[in-house]
Every structure is written in structure tokens, then in C-alpha cells.
Structure 1
Amino acid sequence: MTRTLPTTNFDILFTSDLHGAIRPIHYNTNAYRHAGLALLASLIQQERERSPELLLVDNGDLLQGSPLASYAASHGSKDGIHPFINVLNELGYDAAVMGNHEFNYGQDLLHDAVRSSSFPWLSANIVKQEEHPIAPGGTGTPAFGPPYLIKKLSSGVKIALLGATTHYIPNWEHPKNIEGLHFLDALETIRTWVHYIRQNEQPDVLVVSYHGGFECDLTTGEPAERLTGENQAYAICREIDGIDVLLTGHQHRQLTAEIHGVTVIQPGFNGSGLGHVSVQLEQSPSGEWSIKDKKAQLLMLDEYPDLKPNPVVIKVTEELEASAQQWLDQPIGEVAGDGDLSISSATQLRLQAHPFIDFVHEVQLEATGAQISNTAMLSEEARGFGSQITVRDVLSNFIYPNTLTVLELSGEDIREALEQTARYFELEPSGKVIVNPAYIQPKPQHYNYDMWAGIEYELDISQPVGRRVVKLECEGKPLEMDGTYAVVMNSYRAAGGGDYAMYPGKKVLHEGATDMAALVEDYIRRHQPLQVREVHNWKVTS
């Protein structure tokens, strides 16, 4: 008679890319939105009732991304604990991983968040610069806490959780926000620590939580993007032995898969869903546990229309929400006469010059004294300004705390940048201009399309890629290819973000310290009422 071996189960739950989405509110309008951590917390509570010994992890990009996050960063809290950390503490998170947006408000806020957490922040590849590379595992001393944690279940099952973060952060973040830190290659650091953990801890299950995404097609393994190192999840699965489960994020995708024996999952963004991985283990006669089965599942809130927000999360953030709402509703200015700075269509805005984008250029040019400006529409939900403007309106349109940088560029650099921007479009056989699918999948990247002021130009999408700039002038004369110009843009773009390879290494003429939302608010207050201009300096044709 065959003896049945003992089995046990445990679950992993994780959030990722919450971006300050705590309460179920669309802050642009204050309408109810069926998303956010308060709702996910109700799912977490349900799962705890079914599986008391679960592993609960946040995979990064928690502290930035919503007006509530902006208020929390600028006004703090009475007890010195970041209000979002209060929520995670109440929910009993086991660990959190650093996301790239955790650094946006500077290290003081981040260190305060880490110190007030009742759980560790894991990121094995973000190390203290002065101590690199002396540390266990030979990779450097992690700057914010241990590289991994061990959790033992009542059954005796031993789980190891290793954290890592995309090492591409220095290409985006303002240098002052990452001073004293060194960002090691995530793939190589994970490889080193997985080997170390397997040899020294001998866990029954090894989980990696990586704030990064997939650089290759999950089915074919073919590259799905330019291989910069920003995303390395496919290589992690393919090249590193010993990983059982890989939790991912950063790309805002919804996916589950099995890649080279590794169970992978990514749960979307803005609190739209919860990642769930169930693991079943079997115990041998000698007492050793081995994995019998693994299954990844997305618990998306759309599938739970009747779910109610967790009352604990609502209570913990009640005072913060009331103060934030009062702050957001502060009037700061108005638009003159019949002027219109509203945005009715993001698509149309990117096809020809628009008054709202011209307003952004005015802010950037005045703040820096540059000759030429480029900017992007940062959110598909941005609606510009109505006749009355509040703090809410500003933060709804300027969702990232980007600062401004002025680079010295040649006319040829500007032409190359416009050709890169023109890649955003494709032409259907019918002649209709559409968005290049590469800017939609695997992750929407509409923010990598730039619009310019201080020059006159035309992009003809019927022409081959690389030859679409059919007009490029400054004050009615052809732009001088060997001439030099002072060009202002956001700090993300100046670092080459969005594949603008012509920018890194160029002479920096000005580097601002004030984020764009603050610059916009100040400009509005000082230029009352706002005058609206008709602009026609560029267009897209086919």
C-alpha cells in the first residue's frame, strides 16, 4: 500500500505600483473609483481567513503618484510616520521592496518611511556607495535594510524572500535624491544572493520580489524592448537557478506565467489588483519539504464589484484625506475671458500645437531662461484647466515630481530628438495616423512623445522612420545643424529617458531643484488672470 505523504499549503499576496492609490477616489473629480489599497485590503483580509500563514509583500512604487501622496510628502504627519506606512503596518505586511519612484521626494522622506515601518524594506542591489563592494555575498551592503528575510511557517516550511530593484534609477532620478547610493546590476546581484541563500539558508521556497519587468516576450523569449537593463525579469528566470517564484512590477502589466520553471506574476497598478501565488509542498519520510505545485492568479478588483473598502484603512487615512481635500480645493487662479486651457482629446493634442502645452512651455522657459522648450503630456487622464484653477487641477496634470534641466544642444541633436518623437506614430493603409503599438504594449509610454516651443516644425508620418522631420526652423529660418541652443526639458528626459540617446553627456546649463507642479502653481499665482494664446508652431501630417 502506497503511503500518502503529508502536504501543506501557503499563499503569497503582493501589491505593486500602488502609486499612492490608497482610498477608492479619482482625485481629478473626487468620484468613486473601484481601485486602491483600501479595497485590496478587504481581499487580503478574506485571504487571511482562508490562509492565516501567508506572505504579504509590497513590490514598490508606493509613496508617489497621487495627489494624496503629494500632500503626504509635503505636509507629513503629526506622529512622524508616513500615513501610507501606517496603513501597511496595520495590514501586517511582511516586507516591501524599493521602487524607482520611492526616491522622488528625496532620501529624508524615504528613510523616515523605512524607520517607521514594522517590516523590512528589501533591495539587495541598492547599496551604500562608500561601502561597495564589502558585504556578505560580495555584492555590497544594502542601504535600506537586509537583502532578504526568512519566514518560518508552523509546519516547519522555510521561505526566503529576496528583494531587488531596477538598477536604471540613476538614468531618471535627480542626483541629490540618490546621493551616496550605488545601484548594482539587478540580474547579477540576484544571481549572487540566490546562490548565497540556497547554500546558507537552505529554504524550502525561494521567492524573489523584483521591482522591474520583462524585457522579452513571455512566449517566444524574443526581445520586446531595447535591452537597456531597465527590465531583466526574463533573464532572471532564464539564467538563474534556484528561484521558485518571481514577483514583478514597474511595467504596470497584468500577467501570470511559468518561465523556465519559475512562476511569475505582475498585478497591474494604482491598486487595480492583487497578486496571489499558492504553493503546495510535500514532506518526505525524512522530514524534508519539496514543492509539489505552484499557481499564480490575479485577483482584479473588476471581478469583485460589490467589495467594500476595509474600514481600518479608511479610519487610518481619514484625517489625512480631510486635510488633503481642503488643500486640493484651494483656488490659485483663473483663465482670462474666453480662454480655453482644457484638454478634450489626448490624441488630438499630440497632432498639433495646443494652448495648454504652450502654457507648459511658458512656465519652463520663464523658470530657466532657455531658448527652446520640450515637454510631454504626462497622463492620459490630464484634462488641462477650466476657468477656475485649484491645487487639485495642477496636481492632476503634473503627476510626477520632475524638475527641469537645460541642456546645450546642437541643431542636429534637436532634429534627432524630433525623429525619435516621430516614432510615436504609424500610418494605417487607409492613411490614418495611429499610435505605434510599441508605445502601448507591453506598457503604455505616451509620456515619451514630446512637443516643442521656440522652433517651428512639421512631422510627416508618411515618410520612413528617421526622415519624418520635413520642416525645422527657428524664427522663420532653417535651424542651424551645427548651431548650439539652450533647451529646457524635464529631468527624466534630460537623462535620456524614453530612448532619447542624444541627450546624455550634453553640457548642462541649468539644473532646477523645484518640481514642475510647484513651478506651475507659482506661475499661475503670479500671472493672473492667465492669458491664452493661439499657437501654430508645429503639426503632424501624413
Structure 2
Amino acid sequence: MKLTILSTSDIHGYFYPTDFRNANQQSPFGLARAASVIDLVKSQSEPEDMVLTIENGDFIQGSPLTYYLNHFDQPSAPLLSKVANNVNYDVGILGNHEFNYGREYMEHVLSKRNYPILCANILDEQGQPYFGNPYKIFTHNGLRVAILGLTTSYISHWEPLDHVRGLSFVSALQTAKNYVPKLQQLADIVIVAYHGGFERDLETNRPTELETGENEASALSEVPGIDALVTGHQHRAIATHVNGVPTTQPGYRGAYVGQIELTLSDHAITHSEASLIKTAAIQPRIQINEPLAKSEIATEKWLDTIVGRLKKDAHINNPMMARLHGHPYLDFINQVQMEAAGTDLSSTALFTNEVAGLGRDVTMRDIEISYPYPNTLAVLEITGADLRAAIEQCAHYWQWDGQQVNVSKDYTDPKVQHYNYDLFAGINYTIDVTRPLDDRITELSYHGESVKKTDRLHIVLNQYRAIGGGEFHMFSADKIIKTVPIDMAELIARYFSKRQIVSVVPTSTYRVVANTKVL
């Protein structure tokens, strides 16, 4: 007998094979392609075999379509669940981004799912699993299979309090240690589906990040009794055995379907394999998206609406050069943030290399593509020492080999972290990449004066960074003195609507140098 475990993770609202850069685009990913893969695998399985399919979180947020539903058509938002139902998943897992639009919206969307949401380590005020189902047991041909659902416990570090009020987030590792022995008594096979990733290098087992609890998959693989592990969150494409446990992480936006195959004899595993099935060449099953057809048309129309104009083009042609020398697009984002928050100090990042910046005519499509996250803003009161520490941490991004500068491996392994390199507005500063780490800032001034450790400064940051996201521990929720509870895409659109034609005015002098030579 064979047990096959199929999974998607981090779909992020990309149901159609498009990234919305153009209307009617055909991209090599999307839930519709993944659904075709799932159908094919199921159709090829033998009657005595068992196939279980897992939706591993971060499903309802992340694309212009899901943004449109949240902001302009919330009554239609439960159609997202109907799309998921059409894939015929057996279980779903909560992702951290499910919380981005608040608990009420999340519950509204998920209310129409016809399969259970599993989450053992997010608890309500009574100490019970938030969605009521920590695990589910399936039976086929006498084989009992348990799936335990877990989610990264770090959500409370990223989300505003009103999004997580009344909930507690328990370590996924500790929860697994509590549940797995019980499930071994109830089932022949125990699967853990975890919306979280790996905190250690899969080859060397060395830590790749501070063990904060955001990612615990490496430690989970060491829990006795787990027969298969499905992961996500990091957007990595992984199919391997970790500490002997077959493990998958099926990438991002439906580019892959994770597949774990367990061969069994008398309900005992005799062989296991982990693989990824690439969806690019598979014909998409567009029919799964029929509930969203009207919303998709409305989204495309909305995306092509011109909301304003820039006086000068702010397209990004070379992301590396934009981070190295600064860029009008990043100046513009900081400009929007500073006006919204009433500060003259701000920072933002060029989140990915896919961010194209803005042309002179700006549509909602341009805004959504260039600012892909539903960030809100917060104002922090920090010290000059905090500011210097933040910039020193950003300076870790650069690696000097004696002749040229590159992106540090620490920012590309295990996943690319361009979003953790911030560029600041309202100050003048210089980074010398030839100097030792944490001693690279050779100039730092504010209003023409050198920044002192004891200075008190107000800075606007996105919510993720403001509460310390990205291991920026000099920032924290207790330093927040004001919030701007409007997401950035809307703030950008409002900024244009007030002015129509926008001029970008840099407010900082920013240099990356090797010794005194500007790179």
C-alpha cells in the first residue's frame, strides 16, 4: 500500500496563472496549475492507495485580487474558500499572513471552507485550539493517518494587537512534543503540517538564524514519532529527508506541489520519498476559479486605473544599484510614509528584485506590484544609539571581497532577504564596507548635527519592522508612540489623489563606500 501526501503552501492569492503585471498574462505558477497536478496524481493512484492533500497556509492574502476583495468587496471574500474547496483539499493550516487583515476578516473568509482548519498551537482565551481542530485522523483500508496542524508562533511579533487579541501563540515544537505521543496511540502514521520553515542549514545543521521560534522545522524533525513533515512560510522549494523524516516545502504561488510517498507493509513504513512537482508545464484547471470570475474582472479593471503622475520616472532598472546608491522610488516611499506619520525620519526597503518602481503615469497595478505587502505604519521614539544600531545591522547586507561589493550570503541563505536592507530618509549617513561588521557607519547626522547616542528621535517604519521584524531588536512594540492603520497601497494612492503630479525630493545623503571611494 502507498500513502501519498500532496501539499501546496504560500499560494498568497495567486489563483490564476498570473502575477498581475499585465492583464490576461500566463505565468508559470498559480493554484489552477497546482490543482491540475493534484488531479493528475490522484487519478494515477491505485484504489487501495491513499492520497491526502494539504493546504499549508498563507492562502487569503498577498495578491492584488485578495487586496481588492478585502478593500472593495468583502461580501465576496468567502469565495476564496470556495476556490479552495474546488481543489478538494483534505485539511488546511493557518498561515501567519491569514491574520494580516484582522481576525474578523479571516474568520469571514474561512467560514465557507468544507474541510477542517488545523492549528494546535494557536489558542483562544479558554486555552483551546483557536479553530477547534488541532488534528484530524483519516482512515483508508484500515490504515489510520493523523495530521497535526501547526503555525509559526511568531505571529504576535508581526501583527497589531487588535489582529491577535485574545489569542496565545505556543511554540510549535513544544506543541508537537505534547501531541505526537498521543497521536501515535490513535493512528498508524503521524504527519505534521507546519506553516513555518527551517532555522538550520539542511546540510550542515548549523543555525541559519537566531532561534527565536519563528521557524522550528529542523527541531520538529527530531521529535520522535513524526513520519512525514510538510513545511512552508520561507517560500523555498525543498524535498528531502531531514533527520530521516521525509520533508517538503513547495515554494510560493503554486509553482510546485509537494509530494511525500510512503510505502507501507502491515501499516509500517518500508520506504519513503520526497519530491516536488513543478507546475509550469501543466495546463491550469481554470474551472476551480469560477467563483472568482467576476472579482477577477473587477480587479483587473481597478488595477488599470491611473491614480496620479510622477514628475520624473522612478523605474528601477538595476535593484543592486538602487540599494547601493539609493533610488527615487525609495525616496518616494519614504516621502509618503513621512507625510502620513508626521515625521521627518523614515526607512523602507526594496523588498524584492521584482519590484519595478514607478513610471510617470501611475496606476493601481503599478502600486500593487511595487509595494506588494499590506503594511501599515508605526512611529517609534528611539535613541540615537538605536538608529545607529539599525543602520549597522543593515550594513551587514554588504560583503566586501577586497575588490568589489556583493550581497552577503547571510541575506540570501536560506532565502533571499532583500526586505531586511533598509534605506533611511531624513538623515545623512555613510557605510564603509571595508570596515568590520557593527563598525561600518562613518557618518551619521540629523538636521546637520552628528547623531548622539542619547538623542531622542521619531521615526516611521512599517509595522513589521517597527515591532522588531527581521531581527531588528533595537525596535520594539513598547517604543511605538503612534500608528497609521491604513495600508501602504492605499496611502500611496491617497498621496497621488491629493497632488495628481508628484515631485520626489530626497531628504538624505546616503553613500556606500570602500575606504573613501564611493561604490
Q: Tell me the TM-score range normalised by the shorter chain.
A: over 0.9
Q: Partners of 2:328 and 2:241 in 1: how far apart?
A: 48
Q: Partners of 1:42 and 1:376 in 2: how far apart?
A: 36
Aligned counterpart for 1:234 among listed residues 209, 218, 222: 218
Q: What residue identity is the alignment partner of 1:76? A: D
The secondary structure found in structure 2 opposite 1:467 is: coil
Q: Does residue 184 in structure 1 map to residue 159 in structure 2?
A: no
Q: What residue identity is the alignment partner of 1:370? A: T
Given that 1:114 and 1:120 are in contact with CA atoms closer than 8 Å, whether structure 2 keeps it comes out as no
Aligned-residue offset at 1:18: 0.9
The secondary structure found in structure 1 opposite 2:321 is: helix
Q: Does residue 26 in structure 1 map to residue 10 in structure 2?
A: no
- Alignment partner, residue 299 of structure 1: 277
For 1:250-399, list aligned pairs within 5 A: 250-283=233-266, 289-302=267-280, 305=281, 307-336=282-311, 339-399=312-372
- Alignment partner, residue 112 of structure 2: 116
Deviation readout 1:144-189 (Å, 9 max, x if unpaired): 1300011111x11111000000101111111111111100111001
Aligned-residue offset at 1:219: 2.4
Deviation readout 1:507-527 (Å, 9 max, x if unpaired): 322112111111111011112
Q: Partners of 2:77 and 2:256 in 1: how far apart?
A: 26
Superposed CA RMSD in Å reads 1.5
- Alignment partner, residue 471 of structure 1: 443
TM-score after normalising by structure 2: 0.95
For 1:29-40, list aligned pairs within 5 A: 29-30=22-23, 31-40=25-34
Given that 1:76 and 1:82 are in contact with CA atoms closer than 8 Å, whether structure 2 keeps it comes out as no
- Alignment partner, residue 502 of structure 1: 474
Q: Does residue 66 in structure 1 map to residue 60 in structure 2?
A: no
Aligned-residue offset at 1:361: 1.2
Q: Partners of 1:392 and 1:314 in 2: how far apart?
A: 21
The secondary structure found in structure 2 opposite 1:426 is: strand
Q: Partners of 2:477 and 2:166 in 1: how far apart?
A: 21
- Alignment partner, residue 248 of structure 1: 231
Given that 2:391 and 2:441 are in contact with CA atoms closer than 8 Å, whether structure 1 keeps it comes out as yes
Given that 2:431 and 2:511 are in contact with CA atoms closer than 8 Å, whether structure 1 keeps it comes out as yes
- Alignment partner, residue 5 of structure 1: none
Give aligned-pair identity as a percent.
Answer: 37
Q: Partners of 1:477 and 1:435 in 2: how far apart?
A: 31
Given that 1:257 and 1:263 are in contact with CA atoms closer than 8 Å, whether structure 2 keeps it comes out as yes
Q: Partners of 1:374 and 1:204 in 2: how far apart?
A: 52
- Alignment partner, residue 3 of structure 1: none
Aligned-residue offset at 1:74: 2.0
- Alignment partner, residue 136 of structure 2: 149
Q: Partners of 2:208 and 2:284 in 1: how far apart?
A: 37
Given that 2:466 and 2:476 are in contact with CA atoms closer than 8 Å, whether structure 1 keeps it comes out as yes
- Alignment partner, residue 517 of structure 2: none
Aligned-residue offset at 1:311: 3.5
Aligned-residue offset at 1:402: 1.0
Q: Partners of 1:175 and 1:378 in 2: how far apart?
A: 24
Aligned-residue offset at 1:427: 0.8
* Higher alpha-carbon deviation: 372-381 or 531-540: 531-540
Which ranges in structure 2 are unaligned for 5 or more consecutive residues? 515-519
Given that 2:234 and 2:415 are in contact with CA atoms closer than 8 Å, whether structure 1 keeps it comes out as yes
Given that 2:70 and 2:77 are in contact with CA atoms closer than 8 Å, whether structure 1 keeps it comes out as no
Aligned counterpart for 1:131 among listed residues 126, 131, 137: 126
Q: What residue identity is the alignment partner of 1:294? A: S
Q: Partners of 1:539 and 1:413 in 2: how far apart?
A: 20
Q: What residue identity is the alignment partner of 1:47? A: V
Given that 1:409 and 1:506 are in contact with CA atoms closer than 8 Å, whether structure 2 keeps it comes out as no
Aligned-residue offset at 1:221: 1.8
Q: Partners of 1:517 and 1:505 in 2: how far apart?
A: 23
Aligned-residue offset at 1:506: 4.6
Given that 1:417 and 1:502 are in contact with CA atoms closer than 8 Å, whether structure 2 keeps it comes out as yes
Given that 1:457 and 1:470 are in contact with CA atoms closer than 8 Å, whether structure 2 keeps it comes out as yes
Deviation readout 1:234-259 (Å, 9 max, x if unpaired): 11112x11110000011111112222
- Alignment partner, residue 76 of structure 1: 73
Q: Partners of 1:260 and 1:26 in 2: how far apart?
A: 36
- Alignment partner, residue 4 of structure 2: 11
Q: Partners of 1:24 and 1:507 in 2: how far apart?
A: 42
Q: Partners of 1:231 and 1:189 in 2: how far apart?
A: 14
The secondary structure found in structure 1 opposite 2:262 is: strand
Q: What residue identity is the alignment partner of 1:522? A: R
Given that 2:69 and 2:77 are in contact with CA atoms closer than 8 Å, whether structure 1 keeps it comes out as no
Q: Partners of 2:313 and 2:292 in 1: how far apart?
A: 36
Aligned-residue offset at 1:225: 1.6
Q: Partners of 1:507 and 1:218 in 2: how far apart?
A: 36
Q: Partners of 1:384 and 1:88 in 2: how far apart?
A: 32
Aligned-residue offset at 1:317: 2.8
Q: What residue identity is the alignment partner of 2:295? A: L
Given that 1:20 and 1:62 are in contact with CA atoms closer than 8 Å, whether structure 2 keeps it comes out as yes
Aligned-residue offset at 1:534: 5.4
Deviation readout 1:250-270 (Å, 9 max, x if unpaired): 111111222233111111111
Q: Partners of 1:28 and 1:539 in 2: how far apart?
A: 32
The secondary structure found in structure 1 opposite 2:264 is: strand
Q: Partners of 2:58 and 2:435 in 1: how far apart?
A: 39
